[in-house]
Amino acid sequence: MMPPPVKVAAVELGLPVFQPERIRDAAAADRLRAHRPDLLVVVAYGQIIPASVLAIPRLGAVNVHASLLPRHRGAAPVAHAILAGDSETGVTIMRMDEQLDHGPILAARATPIGGTVDAAALTTQLASMGAELLVETLGRLEEITAVEQDDRAATVAPRLRKEDGELEWDIGALEIDRRVRALQPWPGVTLPSKRGRVKVLSGHVEGDRYVPEVVQVPGKRPAPAKQVLGDGPGARRAP
């Protein structure tokens, strides 16, 4: 398993790294408590952090989330923003509580979602935005009055599943386009063709058709769709 970038950077800087398998374990909380941290910063962490840990730092815990909360609470906010056809997304810095992406908001910054951007590129953009906003926010943390989220406006962005990318042509060109862009790099999108199901890596909407541009046959390298599919499903007309 590849170590996360934060661990790689910490090791290069000679900083100690602690990666508990379960943050709810008493031993993990005890080790954090021993360091007497002023603040916890949480980014893309896959576990719910219990109150016993959130209470350890003097200034609490803050989270960087890749959406404009309360929209797209959950594990896959970038993909779900594209899937929903949102015109913009952004990053939110919030104080953490025990609920999922629920805490009061300290800062937020928006950015448009381009009509051709995929989740991988958008994630990279939001990561840079989030880092900048985090530094700005921490610099004046004790001056900011956090604003409670409007739970009535909340939407959920659950984890992606492999079957989310197993598509048929009849779902329509716009929906195919959103899924191709949203489900990169995982789980990716497959569509039926005369060569069986092929993975569609990129494409575009042309009128009421979805036209693949780059596809991948199982066991082969990505290739231009015209080379692989000819004039077949790549020009299928959506209902």
- The structure tokens listed for 60 are 């609490």
| 148 and 203, same domain (yes or no) | no
| 118 and 101, same domain (yes or no) | yes
pLDDT above 50 (res 60): yes
Residue range 195-206: average pLDDT?
95
H/E stretch holding 195: none
Residue range 195-214: average pLDDT?
95
The whole model's pTM is what? Answer: 0.93
What would the pLDDT profile of 166-193 be if each residue is shown by its tens digit?
999 999 999 999 999 999 999 999 999 9
Q: What domain range is 171 assigned to?
A: 162-235
| 80 and 140, same domain (yes or no) | yes
- Domain end, chosen from 95, 125, 153, is at 153
Backbone conformation region of residue 123, classed left if phi is above 0, alpha if psi is from -120 to 50, else beta: alpha
- Domain end, chosen from 121, 153, 185, is at 153
pLDDT above 50 (res 52): yes
| 57 and 113, same domain (yes or no) | yes
Q: What would the DSSP string read from start to end of 77-130?
A: HHHHHHHTT-SEEEEEEEE--SSTT-SPEEEEEEEE--TT--HHHHHHHHHHHH
pLDDT above 60 (res 117): yes
Res. 3 pLDDT band, cuts 50 70 90: confident
| 131 and 187, same domain (yes or no) | no
Residue range 128-136: average pLDDT?
98
Res. 25 pLDDT band, cuts 50 70 90: very high
Percent of the chain with pLDDT over 90: 90
| 179 and 137, same domain (yes or no) | no
| 35 and 136, same domain (yes or no) | yes
Q: How far apart, in whole angstroms, are the C-alpha atoms of residue 67 and residue 109?
A: 9
Provide the 10 A C-beta neighbour count for residue 129. 18
The pLDDT of residue 230: 81
- Domain end, chosen from 119, 153, 187, is at 153
Backbone conformation region of residue 193, classed left if phi is above 0, alpha if psi is from -120 to 50, else beta: beta
| 141 and 169, same domain (yes or no) | no
pLDDT above 70 (res 231): no
| 141 and 216, same domain (yes or no) | no
| 43 and 88, same domain (yes or no) | yes
The CATH number of the domain where 29 resides is what? 3.40.50.170
Give the contacts of 235 (CB within 8 A, at least 6 positions apart): 209, 211
The pLDDT of residue 233: 47
| 192 and 87, same domain (yes or no) | no
Q: How far apart, in whole angstroms, are the C-alpha atoms of residue 89 and residue 30?
A: 37
The CATH number of the domain where 196 resides is what? 3.10.25.10
pLDDT above 60 (res 57): yes
The pLDDT of residue 239: 37
| 167 and 144, same domain (yes or no) | no
pLDDT above 50 (res 238): no
> How many domains does the chain contain in total?
2
